[in-house]
Amino acid sequence: MTKVSNRNIPVERWPESLEILRHLAAQTSPIPVRVVARDVSAPEISTRNRLAKLEVQGTVRATRATAVLGPDKQVVCTHYVITQYGRDCVGAASASTSQSSKICARSVFDWASGYATQ
């Protein structure tokens, strides 16, 4: 029996990554890692690592922003927002669920060629 591993597929197609991307796609502004982790019910460190990998792939964009914790307490933390490529990956994953295929392309041409080879 062979074990299926996430290492065999790109990070933007991992089920956990798609859950994060779907959550970010529903947001209207950048949100901090802690909020993302809480909203997807995942450990913060795992979410932080996954977001870093997704940022390398270009599916999310990180920005540094100041958050106010109290009257005299401000911290700078990383906020994430989904990119168009990330939205395309979520859309392709949604489409693939109905077609039982997984295509996540960096361009319309890659996406179309994925359907042509099926």
Residue 78 maps to a domain: yes
Residue 5 maps to a domain: no
Residue 1 maps to a domain: no
57, burial (CB in 10 Å: exposed 0-12, middle 13-18, buried 19+): middle
Residue 35 maps to a domain: yes
Residue 3 maps to a domain: no
User: Which CATH number fits the domain that encloses residue 91?
Assistant: 1.10.10.10
- Give the range of the structural domain holding residue 26, as residue numbers without chain letter: 11-116
Q: Confidence band (pLDDT; 50, 70, 90) for 24? A: very high
Task: Look at residue 49 and tell me whether its pLDDT is greater than 70.
Answer: yes
Give the pLDDT score at 100.
Answer: 46
Give pTM, 2 decimals.
0.72
pLDDT digits (tens, 9 = 90+) for 55-114: 999 999 999 988 777 888 888 889 999 999 999 999 887 766 555 444 555 555 565 555
Residue 6 maps to a domain: no
* Domains: count for the chain: 1
105 conformational bin, left if phi > 0, alpha if psi -120 to 50, beta if neither: beta
Residue 76 maps to a domain: yes
Question: H helices of the chain, where?
Answer: 15-25, 33-39, 44-57, 84-99, 108-116
Give the pLDDT score at 85.
Answer: 94
Q: Which two tokens stand for residue 61?
A: 């964009």
Residue 89 maps to a domain: yes
Q: Are 13 and 89 in contact (CB under 8 A)?
A: yes
